[in-house]
Amino acid sequence: MEEALWAYRTTYRTPTQPTPYSLVYGVEAVHPLEVRIPSLRVAVNEGLTNEEDVHLRLQELDFLDDQRLNAQQSLECYQSRITKSYNKKVRQQSYQVEDMVLWLIHGSRSTRTQSGIINGHYLNCYYP
């Protein structure tokens, strides 16, 4: 389960663009294999002195605010695109009192019959 959570937290998301991990911690996650088999990123960080490491971390935290702001703006743009797409497909319908409407009870049997005629038990009057 830990591997699945790690994979979920370190994959890019369409609405925010960066990974959830990078939005929280300010840096991309280091893959466990990169720790066992040193990569350039791990090797560079191991060679730093304490002061350099603190300075680098402060720069990453400053960058994190900008990254979160960009993610928020990206999320807002994504939500507006999704809303616009949804609203194109929705048809506005208005009902008058005592119009006959199809009354579906959640979890009930399907209203389709072999003849294609809807059973009258599912048709009721509309009362707001």
Model confidence pLDDT, tens digit, residues 92-123: 888 787 777 766 655 555 555 555 555 555 55
Confidence at 61, pLDDT banded by 50, 70, 90: confident
* Structure-token match 């900008």, residue found: 66
Q: What gap in Å lies between CA 98 and CA 53, rounded to an integer? A: 73
User: Domain check: are 71 and 111 in the same one?
Assistant: no
User: Domain check: are 69 and 100 in the same one?
Assistant: no
pTM for this one? 0.46
Number of domains the chain contains: 2
Tell me which DSSP letter residue 29 carries.
P
Other CB atoms within 10 A of residue 75 CB: 15
Amino acid at 123: L
User: Domain check: are 83 and 126 in the same one?
Assistant: no
Domain interval for residue 113: 93-128
User: Domain check: are 67 and 36 in the same one?
Assistant: yes
Confidence at 43, pLDDT banded by 50, 70, 90: low
